[in-house]
Amino acid sequence: MTTQKDHHDISTLVSRFFRALDAREFADGWGGGFFTDDVRTTTPVGDAEGADAVRHTEVAIGRFARTQHMASDVLVDVGGDEETATASWNALMVHVHHDSTLRERGEGADPLFTVGGVYDAELLRTPGGWRISRMDVRAVWTTGEPPVVTA
């Protein structure tokens, strides 16, 4: 049974996660406040697990000069064991390209890459609160061009 507190706690975790991305708060161990140690992620730029998933997130955000992530309509379902939950939310993700990307693309290049998407997550209740154990990000629509990725 999903309680109001569980819904609030999970929704707050989602909001804090997006704020951390946009503030680029990637101090050592930052992922522990959001993810389990064995988290699995699937995003438009690839799949990753554990510490690689955390690093993958940092690299993806670093491809842009700035970002703004907004979550809405967080739906939460706590399992009968009260130790697991699922959550999904809509997201609007605005990415501002680095000046180097804009120079490479030339005059008139769109400075923004915007994505409308859906997140689906599985969560575990830990001594530190709810943590994401699986997170899938699905782009529903995009405008602009993705970043220039160099090997």
Q: Examine residue 150 and state whether it is found in any structural domain, yes or no.
A: no
What is the tens place of the pLDDT at every residue in 89-142? Answer: 999 999 999 999 999 999 999 999 999 999 999 999 999 999 999 999 999 999
pTM of the model: 0.94
Report the CATH number at residue 68. Answer: 3.10.450.50
Q: For residue 107, give its domain range.
A: 4-143
Please compute the mean of the pLDDT values over residues 31-51 and round it to a whole number.
Answer: 95
Q: Examine residue 15 and state whether it is found in any structural domain, yes or no.
A: yes
Q: Hey, which residues does 75 pair with through a beta bridge? A: 88
What is the tens place of the pLDDT at every residue in 18-35? Answer: 999 999 989 999 999 999
Q: Examine residue 14 and state whether it is found in any structural domain, yes or no.
A: yes
Q: Are 134 and 122 in contact (CB under 8 A)?
A: yes
What is the tens place of the pLDDT at every residue in 48-74? Answer: 999 999 999 999 999 999 999 999 999
Quote the pLDDT of residue 151. Answer: 55
Q: Examine residue 151 and state whether it is found in any structural domain, yes or no.
A: no
Q: Are 38 and 74 in contact (CB under 8 A)?
A: no
Alpha-carbon torsion 43, 47, 50, 56, what sign?
negative
Q: Examine residue 38 and state whether it is found in any structural domain, yes or no.
A: yes
Q: Examine residue 20 and state whether it is found in any structural domain, yes or no.
A: yes
How many domains are there within the chain? 1
Q: Examine residue 138 and state whether it is found in any structural domain, yes or no.
A: yes
Q: Examine residue 149 and state whether it is found in any structural domain, yes or no.
A: no
